[in-house]
Structure 1
Amino acid sequence: MATMKSVQTGGVGRIEVVDVERPVPGPKDVLLKIRAGGICGTDVTFLHMGGMPARAHLGGDLVPIALGHEPAGEVVEAGADVTGLEVGDRVVVNPQDAPTGIIGCGGRHGALSEYLLIENAEVGRSVAVIPDTVPFEVASLNEPMAVSRHAVNRSEAGPDDKVVVFGAGPIGLGAAIWLKLRGVRHVVVVDVIPARLEKALAVGADAVINSAEEDVTARLTQLHGQSANALGQPRPGTDVFIDAAGAPAVFNTVVANAQWHARLVMVAVQKKGEIDLGGMLRSELTLVASQGYPSEIFEVTPELVEHHERFAKLISHRVPFADVHRAFELALTPGAAEKVVVTFDA
Structure 2
Amino acid sequence: MEEPVHKKTRTDDDDNVALVLYGVDDLKMVPWEKPLPKPGEVLLRMQSVGICGSDVHYWTAGRIGDFVVTSPMVMGHEASGCVVAVGDGVKNLQVGDRVAIEPGVPCRHCDHCKQGTYNLCPDMRFCATPPIHGSLAHYYCHDADFCYKLPSNVSYDHAALLEPLSVGVHACQRAGVCLGSKVLICGAGPIGLVCLLTAKACGAAHVIVTDIVEQRLEVAMAMGADQVIKVDTKDTQKLANQIREKMGGAPNMAIECTGVEASVSTAIYATRSGGVVVLVGLGAAMATIPIVNASVREVDIRGIFRYRNCYPVALEMVSSGRVPADKLDHMITHHYKLANSLEAFETAKTGRGGAIKVMIHCD
- On whether the aligned pair clears a TM of 0.5, the verdict is yes
User: What is the CA–CA distance in structure 2 between the aligned matches of 1:29 and 1:284, rounded to whole Å?
Assistant: 46
- The root-mean-square deviation of aligned C-alpha atoms, in Å, is 2.4
TM-score, normalization by structure 2:
0.83
Deviations 1:233-285 (A, max 9, x none): xxxx2211110111011012123333322210001113242122222234322
User: What is the CA–CA distance in structure 1 between the aligned matches of 2:242 and 2:69, rounded to whole Å?
Assistant: 49
| Contact kept? 1:53, 1:62, Cα under 8 Å | no
Range with greater deviation from structure 2 (72-81 or 302-311): 302-311
User: What is the CA–CA distance in structure 2 between the aligned matches of 1:185 and 1:291, rounded to whole Å?
Assistant: 26
Distance change >3 Å, CA 211–CA 114, structure 1 → 2: same
Matches within 5 A, 1:1-346: 1-2=9-10, 3-50=15-62, 62-97=70-105, 101-119=125-143, 121-122=144-145, 126-212=146-232, 216-226=239-249, 237-271=250-284, 272-306=286-320, 307-334=324-351, 336-345=354-363
User: What is the CA–CA distance in structure 1 between the aligned matches of 2:300 and 2:141, rounded to whole Å?
Assistant: 42
Query: Percent of counterpart pairs with the same letter?
Result: 29
Deviations 1:295-329 (A, max 9, x none): 11222112122333322221111111111011100
Range with greater deviation from structure 2 (266-275 or 320-329): 266-275
| Contact kept? 2:233, 2:239, Cα under 8 Å | no
User: What residue identity is the alignment partner of 2:357?
Assistant: K
Deviations 1:118-165 (A, max 9, x none): 24x23xxx1110023322112100111101110000000222321100
Which portions of structure 1, spanning 4 or more consecutive aligned residues, are displaced by more than 6 angstroms?
A: 52-55
User: What is the CA–CA distance in structure 2 between the aligned matches of 1:323 and 1:338, rounded to whole Å?
Assistant: 18
In the TM superposition, what is the alpha-carbon distance from 1:17 to its structure 2 partner?
1.2
Aligned length: 327
| Secondary structure of 1:36's aligned partner | strand
Deviations 1:183-228 (A, max 9, x none): 11100110111111111111111111101279633532333224xx
User: What residue identity is the alignment partner of 1:315?
Assistant: I
Distance change >3 Å, CA 175–CA 54, structure 1 → 2: closer
| Contact kept? 1:24, 1:117, Cα under 8 Å | yes
In the TM superposition, what is the alpha-carbon distance from 1:61 to its structure 2 partner?
8.0
| Secondary structure of 2:32's aligned partner | strand
User: What residue identity is the alignment partner of 1:176?
Assistant: L
User: What is the CA–CA distance in structure 1 between the aligned matches of 2:287 and 2:332, rounded to whole Å?
Assistant: 31
| Contact kept? 2:71, 2:131, Cα under 8 Å | no
User: What is the CA–CA distance in structure 2 between the aligned matches of 1:330 and 1:35, rounded to whole Å?
Assistant: 20
TM-score, normalization by structure 1:
0.87
User: What residue identity is the alignment partner of 1:163?
Assistant: V
User: What is the CA–CA distance in structure 2 between the aligned matches of 1:267 and 1:303, rounded to whole Å?
Assistant: 21
In the TM superposition, what is the alpha-carbon distance from 1:84 to its structure 2 partner?
2.5
User: What residue identity is the alignment partner of 1:112?
Assistant: L
User: What is the CA–CA distance in structure 1 between the aligned matches of 2:279 and 2:303, rounded to whole Å?
Assistant: 5
Runs (5+) with no aligned partner, structure 2: 1-8, 108-123
Distance change >3 Å, CA 113–CA 46, structure 1 → 2: same
Deviations 1:9-55 (A, max 9, x none): 13213311121110012343211000010111111221122368999
Distance change >3 Å, CA 26–CA 217, structure 1 → 2: closer
Range with greater deviation from structure 2 (333-342 or 293-302): 333-342
